Every structure is written in C-alpha cells, then in structure tokens.
Amino acid sequence: MKLQEPILKRANALYKMDLTHDFCEVMSQAPCKLFIFGFKPSFEVTYSGRDKEAHAEILSGILKVVTNKDVFFGVNGNSLIFSYKKFDILGDGDLGLVLGFPPCCVKRYVIESNDYRSHNSAKRYLRQIDDMKLKDDPFSIFLCYRSASCSRYGFIPCSPDCKSALDYAKKLKEIEKKIRW
C-alpha cells in the first residue's frame, strides 16, 4: 500500500517533532484497534503534547490509508477524537455520544460536570459500588487526584448496574475475544 505524498511529508514532520513514540502508543491501544477493524465507529485518545492538530491530522491520514475509509478528526482539550463520520463537538455530551457511550451515562456525566468532571463521576460511581456492596467493579474505574479513568471502556457509567453500560461492555469483551492482540 503506497502512502500519498502529503501524508509522507506530515509523517516526516511527526518524526522531526519526536512524536513517533506517542503515535505508536496510540495505534497500539485497544480503542484504536477496534476502530481499525471496524468494531467501533469512533475513538478518543488523550494527547498532551504540542501541535495537537498536526498530530491528529497525521494520524487520521494514516488511519485513512489503513482502513481505506474517510477518517475525520477533532481536538477537544487534550483529547483527539477520530470517527468515520463527520461530527461537531459542542460539549461533553456531544463527545460522549460521538464516541458511542450510552446516552444515560453521558447525561449523568454532563450533570456532574465542573472543573474536575471525571473525578466527580468516579467518586459517585465508586460510592455506588460500596453502597451496593459489590465485590468487583465491572468497569475498573480508578480515582486519582482531580481526575479518574476507565481505560478499558472509556467512560464512567451512570450506575454499576446500568443495563446499557453493561451491554456496551459485554459487546466490547466479545469483540476482544475474537481479536487476538
């Protein structure tokens, strides 16, 4: 497969910016692989380096070549978002829906939003785990100082027993079993 000249020039610029490690890391993450194999219509990665637009443009160009599909990108804070469909992100709710997260979970996240969005949602979620006396957290949420993460599924459910969230997770687990990486 031959890369187009503009993509090669941008890839060379990426190399000169010494971002090749970050680029390879993005391509090796499960959400990106699921996107490449057509199991996810969009994905998000956190990128705190400089020149986010150039990085996103290069990655979308390479994803376009790899998938043989149009790939659109957007930058939202420290997030780079890639999708097979054009999208606009006006707020966190739009981002969650573009990424395919359950609408009830997106709505709850937006309600809890302020300066430490994921932190507030994670605190609430982990409190729910304790209140329900669950032994295991089905989403592996972890809490850090002023932030939180759900690196496996990319979102914090509105509840540990949310049917939509559990169905979403089950679907991704089934896909992961089919794809060996």
Between CA 166 and CA 161 the distance in angstroms is 7
pLDDT, tens only, 96-118 = 888 889 999 999 888 887 655 67
Tell how strand 42-46 and strand 142-144 pair up: unpaired
Domain boundary among 49, 83, 117: 83
Residue 93 lies in a domain: no
Above 70 in pLDDT, residue 20? Answer: no
pLDDT at 181: 53
Query: Is residue 90 situated within a structural domain?
Result: no
Place of tokens 């994921």: 118
User: Same domain for 75 and 117?
Assistant: no
Look up the pTM and report it.
0.71
Task: Confirm whether 95 is domain-assigned.
Answer: no
- Is position 164 within any domain? yes
C-alpha 100 chain-centroid distance: 10
Query: Domain count of the chain?
Result: 2
Of 31, 51, 83, which one is at a domain's C-terminal end? 83
With tokens 């914090």, the residue in question is 156
Per-residue pLDDT reduced to its tens digit, 61-81: 888 888 899 999 988 887 889
32 and 79 in a single domain? The answer is yes
Longest dimension (CA), the chain: 57
Q: List the domain range (segments joined by +) for residue 29.
A: 5-83
Using one digit for the tens of pLDDT, what is the confidence trace for 115-173? 556 778 888 888 999 999 998 888 888 777 666 767 678 888 999 999 999 999 898 88
Q: Is residue 79 part of a domain?
A: yes
Residue 165, pLDDT score = 94
Tokens representing residue 169 in the block: 């997770």
Residue with tokens 């097979």: 84
